[in-house]
Amino acid sequence: MKKRILALILATAIAAAMTACGNSSEPSGTSQEPEQTEESEPSGREITVWVEKIFSDDANAAIEARLKQYGTENNVTVHVELIGATDIMTKLNATIEAGQNVPDIISSSTTKVLNYYPNIPCLDVSDLVAEINAERPYLPSALEGTQIDGVHYYVPYDSSSCMMFVRKDKLEEAGITQMPATWEEVFEAAKAISDPENDFYGLGMGCGENDDDDENTLRQYFWNEGGYLLDADGNITVDNDVIKKCVTNWADLYKNGVIPPDATTWDAGGNNGSYLAGRTGIVFNAPTLYNAMRNDEQYEELLANTAILAPPAGADNNVYMSFPVGFSIMNTCQDVQLASDVIKYLVEKEWYDEYLGAIAPIYAPMFQDAESNPVWTDDAVNAEVLKYVQSATGYYGYPVATISGRSFAAKHYFTFPVGKMYNQVATGSASVEDAVKKIVSDLEDFKDQVGE
C-alpha cells in the first residue's frame, strides 16, 4: 500500500512536470527547465536545491519531482541535485571555498550547521519557521530540538529515530510478561534471557571504535539517569557519580556475558547485524532494522517475534537523542523569498503527509497533527516512532545551551569519546576513574584546539 501511495505521489508530480516540460531524458539529479510557450514567458527567476539522498530511490525521485513541479506551477527554473550523504558536505565545502556555484537551499541538520561555527553559511530562518508553525504547529520537541541558541538555521522537515527492538519470544520463555520500560528493567530482562554458552546475549549494545549508533545510545543512557558530559554553560561535568555508575553497570553486563564479547569491536552495523543473526535479544537501532526484516522473507519469523518500542526511561528523564533534518537557505541566496516559498511548498500538508506516510516509519513527521493521523496512530510501529520523536530533544553535548558549546560538542562527537570510555572499562584497559579522567583530558584538549 505504501509503495502504491508513493508511486501516486511521484506519478502526479512527474505528470505535472511533463505537461509543461515534455518528456525529457535527462538523468535524475539534473534540472529540467520548463518548455517556453507564448502563454508562459520565462520569468528569469531560478533556484538551486541540493537534496541529500535517503534510503529510497522512489522517495528521492518523489521529492525531486515535487521541486520541479513547483517550477512548472510558478514559472521558475528549479535546478535539483540529489547527492549522497557522504558527498554532500564535501561538495558544499568546495563551492563555499571557491565562492561560486553555491546552492540556494540545502538539506541540513543541526550537526551540519554547528560544524561551520563561527562562520555559519546558513541564514537565520526563525521567521520562516514561525510562519510555518503558525499555520501548522510543530511538535514542541521539533521546535526545541532544532533551535541553536534560540535561532533556527534550518526549517525542520522530518526526523529519524533510534528504537528498541526486543525479542518478545525470549522474554516470554524467561517468564517476563511486560516489555521493559526503564533502563533497569532492560538490563534485568537482558540478564534473564542471556545464554552465552549457546552464543545468545540479552543486550546488543556495543562500544566499538567507530560505533556511532551505540555512541548515541550510551550517551542517552546516562542522560536518562541524570548524568552529563557538559552542563548548560558548557562546563565539563563528566566526572560525576551517575556516569561512573552507568559505565560500571554496562561493563559488568559485558563481563558477565550479557553483551556479546565482540561488541567492543563493533561498528555501526554491529548491533543490527547481531539481531538479524539471532545472537541478541535487545538492541537499539533506526527503523531501517524493521525494514530489513519486513522486506526479506528469511526474517519473517524474527519479525513476528519482535516488539519495536520507544527506548526506556531512566531514573531522571526519558530524553531521546534527536535526529531532525530540514532545509537551510544559504547566505549567498539572491532570492530569499523564492527559497522560502519553495520550502513552504515542500511542507504543504496533503503532499507532505502522503510523502512521509509512504516512507514510514523510517522518517517521522514533525507536526502536531501527526498525533491524530491514522498513519501514525493506528500502526503500532509508526506510533512508537512518533512517541520517540515527541521526546527527542537531546543532542551532542546535551544540555549545553550556548552555540559555541554546542559547536564544540558536535565536533568532538566524531572522536566517539563516550564509546571509548565504556570500552576501556569493559576491556580492562582502564579503571572507571582513569577512563573518566581520560575523557575529561580529551575534552579539555579538544576545547583548546577548536578555540571554544
Reported as a single tens digit per residue, the pLDDT across 88-134 is 999 999 999 999 999 999 999 999 999 999 999 999 999 999 999 99
Q: Where are the beta strands (DSSP E) in 310-384?
A: 320-321, 323-329, 364-365
Q: Is the pLDDT of residue 39 over 70?
A: no
Q: Are strands 280-285 and 46-52 parallel, antiparallel or unpaired?
A: unpaired
- CA 369 from chain center: how many Å? 21
- Ramachandran region of residue 335, left (φ > 0), alpha (ψ -120 to 50) or beta? beta
Over the stretch 339-360, which tens digit does the pLDDT of each residue have? 999 999 999 999 999 999 999 9
- pLDDT, one tens digit per residue, over 361-385 is 999 999 999 999 999 999 999 999 9
Give, in order, the Cα–Cα distances in Å from 156 to each of 63, 103, 152, 244, 294: 16, 19, 9, 35, 29
Please tell me the predicted confidence (pLDDT) of residue 9: 46
Q: Kindly give the pairing relationship between strand 320-321 and strand 323-329.
A: unpaired
What is the per-residue pLDDT for 43?
Answer: 66
What is the total residue count of the chain? Answer: 452
Residue labelled with grid coordinates 526545541: 144
3-state helix, strand, coil in the chain (%, to 5): 50, 15, 35
Q: What is the pTM of this model?
A: 0.89
Q: Under DSSP, is residue 368 helix (H, G, I), strand (E, B) or coil?
A: helix
How far is Cα of residue 373 from the mean position of the Cα atoms in its chain?
22
- Please check whether residue 161 is in contact with residue 389, taking contact to mean a CB–CB distance below 8 angstroms: yes
DSSP 113-168: HHTTTTS--B---HHHHHHHHHHSPBPHHHHHHH-BTTB-SSEEEEEE--EEEEEH
Residue 198 is predicted with a pLDDT of 98
Q: Which residues contact 2 (CB under 8 A, 6 or more apart)?
A: 357, 358, 359, 360
Mean pLDDT calculated for residue range 381-396: 96
Three cell numbers, residue 301: 519469523
Task: Taking each helix axis as running N to C, give the angle between helix 126-135 and helix 336-346, from 0 to 180 degrees, rounded to the nearest 10.
Answer: 40
Region 145-150: mean pLDDT is 93
Q: Find the mean pLDDT for residues 181-185.
A: 98
Given a cut of 60, is residue 337 above it in pLDDT? yes
- pLDDT tens sequence across 47-104: 999 999 998 899 999 999 999 999 999 999 999 999 999 999 999 999 999 999 999 9
Over range 162-174, report the average pLDDT.
98
Q: What is the largest CA-CA distance in the chain?
A: 78
- H/E element holding 98? helix 88-98
Q: Quick one: average pLDDT of 197-216?
A: 95
- Three-class secondary structure of residue 181 per DSSP: coil
Distance CA 452, CA 447 (A): 5
Q: Is omega for the bond preceding 118 within 30 degrees of 0, making it cis?
A: yes
pLDDT of residue 193: 98
| Distance between CA atoms of residues 272 and 58, nearest Å | 24
* Parallel/antiparallel/unpaired status of strands 163-167 and 280-285: antiparallel
